[in-house]
Amino acid sequence: MEDIKKIKMQRTLIYVFFGFLTILSIIPFWIVFVNSTRTAEQIQQGMALIPGSSFIDNWNILMDRGFNIFEGYRNSFTIAGGSTILSMYFSCLTAYGFTVYDFKGKKVLFSIVLLLIMLPPQVNMIGFYRFMASVGLLNSYIPLIVPAIASAPTVFFMKQYLETIYHPSIVDSARIDGAGEMKIFHRIILPQMMPAIATMSIFSFVQSWNNFLMPLILINDRSKYTLPMLVQLLTTDTYTTEYGSLYLGVSLSVVPLILAYLFLSKRIIGGVTAGGVKM
């Protein structure tokens, strides 16, 4: 009986602790949202946890001064969606090659993949900019989407996941039945990798959505600005004293990411766990 009470007490303490952490994590986002509904004068008076009544006024100020949120959403979704699709498909294809086939230089190539994971993207930024300028692709979405084909972290994760589910007998049976390699990949391997694809799609999408430095270097046309670039405009003189509008812009920029994590959190945890366990 005492053991049962101890277990209940321990569970209660754990729930209280994690509940406290949850509230602590939510408070910053909630404060940003609350401030987006208050005037600049109210924000300067101090912090509040109850929403105000100036949401529409802040929205009008935001729209009247050139912050086109819908254009930003469109541009960010175009880049993040395109890069995510390319990254997932070609990373799965590469992982399939590393897992299924034995060829000369396989270990060397995979070592290069691991090396690329450790290199920061800033290393090749100047060279990449000069190359894009030489081929006339500045102020275009192509340099922000196509390089996702070679995503070393995604290749590594997909390979680790595929090694836990791959059964040579299934592939050999398909080959005996006359199926080609690409058909085997599309009909057998790719469907089995959907949990890992869903997990990495979320991470890839969020990373591309939050990418600020590379679009800032490559894009000059304001109509092609991504959402993070538009948020950066909120720090200019136009919005310096309009704190409510500033907070509203920040709130709108993170809404898709919060919704993605809320609805797909179980898949994220499950996919990461599956990818980290090797049978």
Q: How confident is the model at residue 275 (pLDDT cuts 50, 70, 90)?
A: very low
Q: How confident is the model at residue 240 (pLDDT cuts 50, 70, 90)?
A: low
Domain ranges of the chain: 1-65+234-279, 75-218
Max mean pLDDT among 42-46, 62-66, 152-156, 242-246 falls in 152-156
pLDDT at 175: 87
What separation in angstroms does the CA of 1 have from each of 10, 11, 51?
14, 16, 47
pLDDT at 276: 46
CA dist 7 and 13 (Å) reads 10
More confident position, 216 or 267 = 216
Question: Tokens for 4?
Answer: 């049962």
More confident position, 244 or 142 = 142
If you average pLDDT over residues 56-78, what whole number do you get?
85
If you average pLDDT over residues 160-189, what whole number do you get?
87
Q: At 138, give phi and psi (nearest 5°).
A: -70, 150
* Residue range 122-155, pLDDT digits in tens: 788 888 899 999 998 899 999 999 998 988 999 9
More confident position, 91 or 43 = 91
* Residue range 202-234, pLDDT digits in tens: 888 888 998 888 999 999 888 899 988 888 877
If you average pLDDT over residues 259-265, what whole number do you get?
72
Which CATH class for the 75-218 domain?
mainly alpha
pLDDT at 238: 61
Evaluate if residue 270 carries a pLDDT over 60: no
pLDDT at 277: 45
Cβ atoms within 10 Å of 194's Cβ, excluding its own: 13
